[in-house]
Structure 1
Amino acid sequence: MKTWLKRILLSLMVLVVGAVGYGYYQLKSVGLIPRKDYDTVAPVLPEFKKPAVLVFTKTNGFIHKDAIPVAKQVFKSLIEQQGWQAYLTDNAAVHSPELLKRFDFIIWNNVSGDVLTAEQRTAMKTWIENGGGWLGVHASGGDFSYDWEWYVQTLIGAQFIGHTMDPQFQNADVIAADPSLLITAHLPKPWRVKQEEWYAFDQNVRDKGYEVLLTLDESSYHTAGETWLGNDSMPGEHPIAWRHTVGKGRVFYSAIGHQPATYEYLEYQAFLRKAMHWVRGRDGDQ
């Protein structure tokens, strides 16, 4: 083989390897390649002088790089407005029996992927069943890579099967399932949410006895059905936020929250504030 041809082939190989490596790095940097990163050394908690709320953010799956920091600040502000103390961490080892008992409730902010060890799973499950409160938003229930059946089938209650992709971000009408409830009474009827990513799930949690709070009007935006990511629609009612009890504990999930701007909506902040009071379980019914 001639020298010039060898050089061309070698250059092409270098380009291909570089492109593959760059592509892998990009996919990993946004979490499209799931990680197995577990924390085993717990953080040292401060002395809480007020009711304490854990805001937990860890991403072993897709990383909502724009939404996570905005949601952190919104949750911190809402928590402090209630006279409580916020503790923000991405260290999953905070999920231990000794540390969880120091919190009134916990918030999972766009957590993705498999983030807890077996011991940490048991600690959180037991804590909730014994009266703890859990509030999760968006990716905390919208992931293919959660390797924990109890989390998917009981805590969330349904498996995420895809989201809008044609286009990904759309305006849509969100409907209060029961507008007489205090938690949704403040919302416009319908509540038009702009440029969000809309999740679909494999089943309606209402069929499990969970209380559906918000639904999507699929006629108000474009659904493509099957996409390369999965499915973006559901037959019949399309729940997008709900709550239920697990043992003595209270669980609340809202699939809304891919876009940072969504957390800035006063309507959504009021909804999340009321959700926090409900999962805390000490301030009357919402």
Structure 2
Amino acid sequence: MKKIVKIILWSLFGSLLLFGTALGIFFYKITNGFPVTYETEKPVIQFPQNQPAILVFSKATAFRHRESIAASLPVFTQMAQRNGWFVYQTEEGGVFNPEQLQQFKAVIFNNSTGRVLNEEQEQALSHYVEAGGALLGIHGAGDNSHHWPWYETNLLGTRFSHHPINPQFQKTEVHIEPAVDTILTQQLPASWVHEDEWYVFLDQPKGARVMSYINGDKINANGNMLWMKNKNFGMGSYHPVAWYRAVDQGKTFYTSMGHSQEVWQDANFVRLVENALQWSMK
């Protein structure tokens, strides 16, 4: 009998240990990503003449928003068809070289998380933007897994803290700032109801102009979970969810919306992203 009890206890201990290890690895991956191989081979790309080119980059080495990425790709293809754009979709970082980057009017970090580029590729992207290119980030592109100061300063201007846990997804009204560039606001209502995983940042984005916001007092922003404490705060009644800025001769745009596949069925969210692309190529 004692032997059976010991076996049960040791089995329980082993299961708890495995669960704890897996959970620890999961949270480490979310925050830091895992060591990754950086692709350096230049892809072969046939750029059509007289079509603005857009690079949609969906590589993720930290948390992967798998369903949102999969749902977004045909939407970007549809945008390209409507606007006469050429879209190149990839998860290979080899395209981040000066020669090929200069062929693109805009680069989208499409829920791209973690360290996805090596230092040479990061430098190529920062020089591309500063020389007149455009970088757009969607949702996971703004979490705290990137560990790249230029990126955090020039795309975000703030730092990710957490997202709500219970409930993780919440509906609330997205409001459009009326005084922003009209290209960004065209065909958008003054407000609409949207459901998403609402990112909470440590402060307002510095040096940026806010395009849209929610009332953060109308969501439950509590992010406390297990040993993750002191994350039961939000950003207050003025909680930006999309903003943009000039970076030397170039531009950046970021929206914290875009977690799930359902957002790509929201016509207003799709219009917001499409407007941002049109603005970036103006």
Whether these two folds match at TM > 0.5 is: yes
In structure 2, the partner of 1:139 is 140
How far did residue 110 of structure 1 move? 0.2
TM-score by length of 1: 0.85
Residues 1:13 and 1:33: Cα distance change in structure 2 (over 3 Å): farther
Deviation of the 1:33 alpha carbon: 6.6
Q: Secondary structure at the match of 1:66?
A: helix
Identity %: 30
- List per-residue Cα deviations over 1:182-225 (Å, max 9, x = no partner): 222533332111x31111212212x52x1110011124333337
1:135 aligned counterpart, secondary structure: strand
Sort the Cα spacing of 1:97 and 1:261 in 2 relative to 1 into closer, same or farther, 3 A. same
In the alignment, which residue of structure 2 is the partner of 1:162? 162
Q: Structure 2 regions of 5+ residues with no counterpart?
A: none
- Which of 211, 214, 231 aligns to 1:213? It is 211
Q: Which moved more, 1:267-276 or 1:41-50?
A: 41-50
State the match for 2:266 in structure 1.
Answer: 265
Residue 237 of structure 1 aligns with an amino acid whose one-letter code is Y
Q: Structure 1 regions of 5+ residues with no counterpart? A: 282-286
Amino acid at match of 2:188: L
CA contact (8 A) 1:152 1:158 kept: yes
Distance 2:224 2:16 in 1: 32
User: What whole-Å deviation, never above 9, does each CA across 1:34-92 have from its counterpart, x for those lacking one?
Assistant: 21213233242221113221100111111112111111221222123211111111112
* 1:7 Cα deviation from its structure 2 partner: 5.4
CA distance in 1, matches of 2:42, 2:78: 22
Note the C-alpha offset of 1:154. Answer: 2.2
Q: Which residue is equivalent to 2:65?
A: 64
Post-superposition offset of 1:226: 6.1
CA RMSD in angstroms comes to 2.7
Name the structure 2 match of 1:34: 33
- Contact 1:179 1:185 survives alignment (8 Å): no
SS in 1 for 2:147: coil
Is the 1:161–1:231 contact (alpha carbons within 8 Å) kept by the matching residues of 2?
no
Report the CA distance shift for 1:263/1:8 in structure 2 as closer, same or farther (over 3 A): closer
Number of aligned residue pairs: give it: 275
Q: 1:262 deviation in Å? A: 1.0
Kept in 1, the 8 Å contact 2:172–2:193? The answer is: yes
State TM-score, norm by structure 2.
0.86
Report the equivalent of 1:243: 244
2:255 maps to 254
Which structure 2 residues correspond to residues 198-237 of structure 1 after superposition, within 5 A? 198-205=198-205, 207-208=206-207, 210-224=208-222, 228=228, 230=231, 233-235=234-236, 237=238
Rounded Cα–Cα distance in structure 1 between residues aligned with 2:166 and 2:242: 22
| Contact 2:31 2:145 survives alignment (8 Å) | no
- Native 8 Å contact 1:173 1:220 kept in 2: no
Q: CA deviation at 1:24?
A: 6.7
Question: Do the aligned partners of residues 224 and 119 (structure 1) sit closer, same or farther apart at CA in structure 2, a change above 3 Å counting?
Answer: same
